[in-house]
Amino acid sequence: MKNYLDATNDLYKNAALTPDVGLCCTTTPIWKFPGLEIPKIMQEMNYGCGSTISAQDLINNPKVLYVGVGGGMELLQFAYFSRQKGGVIGVDVVDEMLEASRKNFKIAEDENDWFKSEFVELKKGDALNLPIEDESIDVAAQNCLFNIFKAEDLKKALQEMYRVLKPHGRLVMSDPTCEQEMNETLRNDDHLRALCLSGSIPIKDYIKALTDVGFGTIEIRGRRPYRILDTENYPTDELIFIESIEVCAIKDPMPEDGPCVFTGKAAIYFGKENYFDDKKGHVLLKNQPLAVCDKTAGALASLNRKDIYISESTFHYNGGGCC
């Protein structure tokens, strides 16, 4: 008997055999770096909803794991920063997608003098049971895959990513999210789930899934419009707005008072002194914004000071914060 993930495998098997340019859509630019040429076929097979590539994560020749290889574009981008044999590992359960990526890497070799296919090791494997050793990966990533999983499978996939990451390693993800309630017809439509639509969950639930498996620091790096489920073409009585988010979950120790979740808030001190020190490790220099996690923002707001301003969440955070 087939389960809901079989529809996903079938969809991406076909997308590997016949590239489907319109399968996914992202407003995130395709990052290009000096000396990096991304083959056209890889761009056509960019089946993500955002980007998992950030130079700040990729220092010191990291060992990178990417789950759900697509056409190999992000694997190539990761290899740009990890130019070593097997420096990037790509895992996918669909044979046809693995083979398509292998062919695409040969094209990438012709277009990039620095690139060698051996920089990327492709493995057949399941996100729920990764063929990777414990604590062997610096940066793990997935793009528009985990939103397909139902709750219990999502938990397993995140536990697997947590297991393979080194201490302080980073899990970088991009997935669709939706703040509105979806009806059961949408939720139980295997095809719409495979299309990265009806598996979308609210951001707070997405963050909770990450912190529940142990990630101590969460960064929301981007939040962008993604799709509309309208009443004419989908089984819904109301228009449903879906966004994509880019998130980094860091395998930091869990603080005693709970995880540090950065959603793009900032604190600004504008009092009479040169700085404000809350005696808990947070120093606000006068008239200089400091990015703060939601927990610190709440603690500062609770002081009820008239000389500290806390901004709303922007859902765009790229480091330099309080923790």
pLDDT, position 46? 86
Which amino acid does the sequence have at 223? R
Looking at residue 13, its pLDDT comes to: 81
At 10, is the pLDDT very low, low, confident or very high (cuts 50, 70, 90)?
confident
- pLDDT tens-digit series, residues 122-170: 999 999 999 999 999 999 999 999 999 999 999 999 999 999 999 999 9
Cβ(175)–Cβ(206) below 8 Å: yes
Q: What is the average per-residue pLDDT within 207-224? A: 97
Q: pLDDT value at position 24?
A: 60
At 189 the pLDDT is: 94
Torsion of the alpha carbons at 182, 184, 190 and 193, rounded to the nearest 10:
10
What's the whole-number average pLDDT of the chain? 93
- pLDDT above 90: residue 73: yes
pLDDT value for 320:
72
Token readout for 202 is 């609210």
Task: Please give the distance of CA 232 from its chain centroid, rounded to a whole number.
Answer: 31
pLDDT of residue 319: 80
Residues pairing with 277 in the sheet = 283
Q: So what's the pLDDT on residue 21? A: 58
Helix residue ranges, H only, the chain: 4-17, 40-44, 73-81, 95-111, 151-164, 184-187, 190-194, 203-212, 294-301
Q: Encode pLDDT of 272-282 as tens digits.
A: 999 999 999 89
Please say if the pLDDT value at position 79 is more than 90.
Answer: yes
pLDDT digits (tens, 9 = 90+) for 290-321: 999 999 999 999 999 999 999 999 999 988 77
pLDDT at 249: 98
Give the residue-averaged pLDDT of 205-232. Answer: 97
Tens of pLDDT, residue by residue over 15-57, are 777 776 565 656 666 777 899 999 999 988 888 888 999 989 9
Distance CA 93, CA 118 (A): 20
State residue 1's pLDDT score. 52
The residue type at 144: C
Which pLDDT score, from 0 to 100, does residue 9 have? 85
Q: Quick check: 150 and 156 in contact, CB under 8 A?
A: no
- CA atoms of 274 and 284, how far apart (whole Å): 9
Taking CA atoms, 88 is separated from 9, 114, 116, 146, 246, in Å, by 23, 15, 12, 20, 20
**SS3 state at 299:** helix
- Using the predicted structure, report yes or no on whether residue 266 has a pLDDT greater than 80: yes
